[in-house]
Structure 1
Amino acid sequence: MSLVTLLPFIVLIGAMFLMTRSAKKKQQQAADMRNQMQPGSGVRTIGGMYATVKEVNEDTVLLDAGPGVELLFAKNSIGAVLTDDEYNRIVHGVEHDLKTDGDLVPDDASSLTGTDAPDAAASDDTPVDLGKKDPAGESAADAAPAEPAAEEPVKKSDGDTEAK
């Protein structure tokens, strides 16, 4: 057998080795993360539930999910151990700002414009007409109601026929 025929098999075996090595590395990192859990740590389960670690055992973790709610989970079901800042931001909505002396951005823009009116365009005294304009230049809303026109005899053109 020549080297050319063995080359695809060698490449395939090398790719499989690299993929399994990467998967094993990720599994080891997840196991290390789970071993670093301690009571008081905030965690997210693989199902997406956020809780606080109350007790860590060999294969299980007791989680405090709220007042009076304690849940027993397998250690493998912990998806991530969160930092205190991240856990408080997600669960309690508490933002920890490192720059306390920085300017804060207000929730609404009224304080930025300096006016107390909720809508500056609405406080304008000029009327806004959104109606269509007719050829004479006056809007359909401003036009006086049309008076019925006197009946005029129908003029026929060459191609019209009278159908009765």
Structure 2
Amino acid sequence: MSPITLLPFIVLIGAMFLMTRSAKKKQQAAASMRNEMQPGTGVRTIGGMYATVKEMDDETVTLEVAPGVHAIYAKNSIGAVLPDEEYNRLIHGESGDDLKVDGAVVPDDASSLTEADEKADDAKIDLGKKDAAADTEDAPAPKDDKADGEGDAK
């Protein structure tokens, strides 16, 4: 057998080795992240729920999903351990910086809207369509295909 015929097998084995190595690194990183959790840490589950860690066991984690509401999850269900700043921003709406658009500060809520802004939001927008009542008066009656005698013949 020549080395050229063995080349595809060697490339395939090398690709499989690289893929399993990167997957193993990701698993180790996720396991170390879960092991670094402490009570009081904000987390996101793999289902997208944000909660605070209350207690930890070897295989389970007790999460506070709402004030006074505790749920027990498997450690593997923790998707991310969040830094305190990010958790507070997401859950409590606390942020040190307001959103800036083109140099102007845009608040997170609508508390700074003026009356003119509110009236402009409430104004009716004409989309170039007629009202439903006007449509029924002006619209021709629907055509019945079977009225022409071309319907089902038995």
TM-score by length of 1: 0.61
Residue 24, structure 1, aligned to residue 7, structure 2? no
Shift of 1:106: 4.6
* Moved beyond 4 Å, runs of 4+: none
Shift of 1:117: 8.1
Select the structure that is richer in strand: 2
Shift of 1:68: 1.7
Show the counterpart of 1:80. 80
Residue aligned with 1:79, SS: strand
Change (3 A) 1:58 1:117: closer
Change (3 A) 1:69 1:6: same
Distance of 2:51 and 2:104 partners within structure 1: 31
Residue 92, structure 1, aligned to residue 92, structure 2? yes
The answer to whether the Cα contact below 8 Å between 1:85 and 1:96 also exists between their aligned partners in 2 is no
Shift of 1:104: 6.7
When Rg is computed on C-alpha atoms for both structures, the one with the higher figure is: 1
Select the structure that is richer in helix: 2
Residue aligned with 1:70, SS: strand
TM-score by length of 2: 0.65
Distance of 1:117 and 1:42 partners within structure 2: 39
1:129-140 → structure 2 map (5 Å cutoff): none
Shift of 1:49: 0.5
Show the counterpart of 1:118. 116
Counterpart of 1:47, as a letter, is: G
Show the counterpart of 2:134. none
State the Cα RMSD in Å: 2.5
Change (3 A) 1:117 1:72: closer
Distance of 1:87 and 1:117 partners within structure 2: 34
1:40-59 → structure 2 map (5 Å cutoff): 40-59=40-59
Task: Say which is worse superposed, 85-94 or 6-15, in terms of deviation.
Answer: 85-94
The answer to whether the Cα contact below 8 Å between 1:62 and 1:70 also exists between their aligned partners in 2 is yes
Counterpart of 1:15, as a letter, is: A
Residue aligned with 1:105, SS: strand
* Percent of aligned pairs with the same amino acid: 71
Shift of 1:105: 1.3
Distance of 2:71 and 2:115 partners within structure 1: 51
Show the counterpart of 1:11. 11
